[in-house]
A and B are shown apart, each in its own frame.
Chain A
Amino acid sequence: MSDRRNVHPREMLSVYLDGELAQTERAEVEAHLADCSSCGALLDDFRAMAAIATREEPPPVPTDLRSRIRLKVGLAGAGRTRQRRFRLEYSRMGIAAAAVIVLAIGLWATRWDSAPPQTPLIDRPTAPDTLGGSERAGVGKEPRDELDESLKALGYVGNGSRQRDDSAPSATGRNSRMQETAAPSGAPAPVIAGGVREREPIERRQAKPEREPAAPAAGFAPAAAGVAEGRGARQDVLEDHKVVARTQAEAPLASPRSEATSRGQVLLLESTGYRVSAHQDGTVVLSAVGYTCAVRQDAPSVDPDIAALFALASTAGETAGSPSTARRGTTVVRLLKPRNAEEESAGEAPGVDLPGAQGVAIETGLRTLLRDKYLPLMERRCGTVPRIVRSP
């Protein structure tokens, strides 16, 4: 027994406490306990610690965790929807392409010797997507219409390219200025989109050669060169559905202040070379040099993922009126709020930086949302997005 006392069966005691010992081992431990007060005390302490550990309260659940879970789950759902949408789109596009081929063969067989040469509605020198060829055919329903319908059926709609009106006045005034800059002589500015010349009014098309370069503007020599080379980009502004010619040198990034407008608060992610803003009404705007696109999910309620981002932002510790320099690398995430006239005149800051974990979570969420849900939509509506937006 003295041996037993000198070599205390600590592991056995632990297993004994848990009731996981075989009967013989159990009897052995109990015999040792009868003789060894230190092991008895040890067993008591094991019991006490187990009991205390059970009572220990974990820290409270962070208030923004629900929003973050909601966002994460929503993004996962969006990924699934996106895959499904792509499958549907490809099948629709396949059907459309087959229909176009059949119609083209029919037309060739019956009208090849008498048909006048067709003027292409859209000149696509770089054919950034697969629709160029069939649009040039100019027969039947345009695949872009087909795509619009499929997008609408899937709950998405973009603002701009189907609703543009070159004669509509600009709400911000910036577009008018840009038109004047691009065409100071009063000649209509060519409308260029991501290397794609957009549809113009019929009379304008008939009156001009197809690739009329923009008139060079003072101080914008590179801009004119850009247009001449077809390297301009589309400016797709939501408010007035206005499309104007923009070139890389001309186009500044959209002002974040102007984005906190009647659509309520704005979550703004500013990174090197581009800016993404999510509006409270569900509109997502991407602004890069020479590229701006605004899209919104066509649903009665705001995209729940956008709503989750705002819920998360609302829990972030605000330092109102004092935009800090809470930068993560070259990126800033900021919450912009509309200001009343008083705040405007007092020169109060338009927004607050979102620091810390919330800022990182919102940045990650916004980037993921853009990549998985909105960039594909923007590419369809406004052309290829600049490479810098896709770079990590």
Chain B
Amino acid sequence: MSTMARARGRLWRMGRGSKVDPGDGPGAATPGSAPETGDGRLISKATGGDREAFDLLVERHLPRVWAVVWRILRHNEDTEDVVQEVFLAAYQGLEGYRGEAKFSTWLHRIAVTRALNHLDRKEEKMRRAFRNLEDDSHLLEAAPEAAGSWIMRGSPSPLQALEADDLMRRLAACLSRLPAAWRAVLTLRDVDARSYEEIAALAGLALGTVRSRLARARVALRQCVAGEGP
């Protein structure tokens, strides 16, 4: 079996079926698990003004909140700012937390909303970035040959020829270059496994926009990873 085929096999095994629930990622609490039980006690104390209890909540949930925000922003300094905002918002909104959802889920939602708000604050910059790619309608409508000569030759996709590690590196670099709002929907879908409706609600977008933005993001990302992209 060729290296390419092995890599491809690994990629296949890492299919979407193995995706975790947003609330169950690293550092997250699972239903009935000790951390979530402990969260309840800490939340009660923190709501009563116990700062140490809140510090412990921060300690528990910081890694996952950091990951969620970073994946959307992919910018360390911006992520630091937004993560601080997230915990401040959580602290100020603790009294409004009714325990209907897990604390980690509640916090995750705040994190996503704040990260998207942060993107909105950079709207002008974003618009400029979007114009370049949103106007590239060929991303969705191109004829097969425009997607790459490999199709015409019947040879494997450049992605398939990559080792998994190399693919990971390229993907990371290309995700950083992707327009932030495209990346945001892509992350919400592919990493957080959010439904289109949830993404539309979180990002304040129409369902059709989520759909087309996701498709454009995937095509652009693929072109970039294959070395054909923008």
Q: How many B residues have CB within 8 A of the partner chain?
A: 65
- B32 contacts the other chain (CB 8 A): no
Task: Say whether A76 contacts B51, CB under 8 Å.
Answer: no
A58:B70 contact, CB within 8 angstroms: yes
The CA of A381 and the CA of B189, in the complex, are separated in Å by: 57
Contact between A304 and B12 (Cβ–Cβ < 8 Å)? Answer: no
B196 touches A69 (CB 8 A): no
**A 124-170 contacts with B by CB, 8 A:** none
Does B222 contact A45, Cβ atoms closer than 8 Å? yes
Q: Is residue A239 contacting chain B, with contact meaning CB distance below 8 A?
A: no
Q: Mark A11-55, 1 if CB is under 8 A from B, else 0.
A: 101110110100000000000000001100110111111111111
Judged by a CB distance under 8 angstroms, whether A334 is at the interface is no
Known contacts A54-B19, A55-B14, A72-B88; is-contact A61 B62 (Cβ 8 Å)? yes
Q: Which of B168-188 contact A (CB under 8 A)?
A: 168, 171-172, 175, 186-187
Q: Which of B112-120, B127-135, B212-220 contacts A (4 or more CB under 8 A)?
A: B212-220
Judge whether B16 and A73 touch: CB under 8 Å. Answer: no
Contact status of A70 and B212, CB under 8 A, knowing A10-B139, A38-B151, A47-B16: no
**A55 CB contacts on chain B under 8 angstroms:** 14, 168
Chain B: minimal CB distance from A304 (Å)? 6
Q: Does B140 interact with chain A (Cβ within 8 Å)?
A: yes
Q: Mark interface residues in A295-322 (1 if CB within 8 Å of B CB, else 0).
A: 0000000001000000000000000000
In the complex, are the beta carbons of B62 and A69 less than 8 A apart?
yes
Asked if B101 CB lies within 8 Å of chain A CBs, one says no
Comparing A1-9, A346-354, A372-380, the segment that makes contact with chain B is A1-9
- Measured in the bound complex, the distance between the Cα atoms of B80 and A68 in whole Å is 9
Given contacts A49-B221, A52-B11, A53-B186, contact A76 B19 (CB under 8 A): no
**Is A341 an interface position by the 8 A CB rule?**
no
Output the least CB separation between A41 and chain B (Å): 5
A38 to B83, CA, bound (A): 41
**A65 at the binding interface (Cβ < 8 Å):** yes
Q: Is the CB of B12 within 8 A of A47?
A: yes
The CA-CA distance from A52 to B192 in the complex, in Å, is: 13
- Minimal beta-carbon separation of A351 from chain B (angstroms): 25
Which B1-46 residues have C-beta < 8 A from chain A?
8, 11-12, 14-16, 18-19
Decide yes or no whether A56 CB sits under 8 A from chain B: yes
CB <8 Å contact, A53 and B190 = yes
Are B157's CB and A76's CB within 8 A?
no
How many cross-chain pairs have Cβ atoms below 8 Å apart between A and B? 157
Assess whether A20 is in contact with B195, with CB atoms less than 8 Å apart: yes
Query: Chain A contacts of B215 at CB under 8 A?
Result: 10-11, 13-15
On chain A, which size bracket covers the interface?
A: 35 or more
A210–B76 Cα distance when bound, in Å, is 62
Q: Which of B83, B172, B186, B219 contacts A10 (CB under 8 A)?
A: B219
Instruction: State whether A50 touches B84 (Cβ < 8 A).
Output: no
Instruction: Say whether A357 faces chain B, with CB atoms less than 8 Å apart.
Output: yes
Contact, CB under 8 Å: A41 / B76: no
Whether, in the assembled complex, A62 has its beta carbon less than 8 Å from a beta carbon of chain B, the answer is: yes
Asked if A73 contacts B51 (CB within 8 A), the reply is yes
The chain A residue with its CB closest to the CB of B19 is A54
Please encode chain B, from 148 to 173, with 1 for each CB lying within 8 Å of some chain A CB and 0 for all others: 00010010110110001001100110
A48 touches B159 (CB 8 A): yes
Is B106 an interface residue when CB atoms closer than 8 A count as contact? no
B225 at the interface (CB under 8 A from A): yes
Which of A48, A76, A357 contacts B167 (CB under 8 A)? A48
A77 close to chain B: CB less than 8 A: yes
Which of A6, A10, A45, A73 sits near B140, CB closer than 8 Å? Answer: A10
Contact A52 B88 (CB under 8 A): no
Q: Are B168 and A18 neighbours in the complex by a CB distance under 8 Å?
A: no
Assuming the A-B contacts A50-B190, A72-B88, are A41 and B157 also in contact, with contact meaning beta carbons closer than 8 angstroms in the complex? yes
A61 CB contacts on chain B under 8 angstroms: 62-63, 66
Instruction: Pick from A17, A53, A59, A73: contact of B87, CB below 8 A.
Output: A73
Residues in B neighbouring A20, C-beta threshold 8 A: 195-196, 211
Besides A8-B144, A45-B159, 5 other A-B contacts (C-beta < 8 A): A11-B215, A20-B211, A45-B157, A56-B172, A69-B62
Subset of 22 A-B contacts with CB under 8 Å:
A8-B147, A10-B140, A15-B211, A18-B214, A20-B211, A37-B154, A38-B144, A46-B222, A48-B12, A50-B16, A50-B189, A51-B15, A51-B18, A53-B191, A56-B172, A58-B70, A65-B80, A65-B83, A68-B84, A73-B54, A73-B87, A73-B88
Q: Chain B interface (Cβ within 8 Å of chain A)?
A: 8, 11-12, 14-16, 18-19, 49, 51, 54-55, 58-59, 62-63, 66-67, 70-71, 76-77, 80, 83-84, 87-88, 91-92, 139-144, 147, 151, 154, 156-157, 159-160, 164, 167-168, 171-172, 175, 186-187, 189-191, 195-196, 211-212, 214-216, 218-219, 221-222, 225
Instruction: List 9 A-B pairs, minimum CB-CB distance, nearest first.
Output: A51-B14, A14-B215, A11-B215, A48-B11, A50-B190, A38-B151, A58-B70, A58-B67, A45-B159
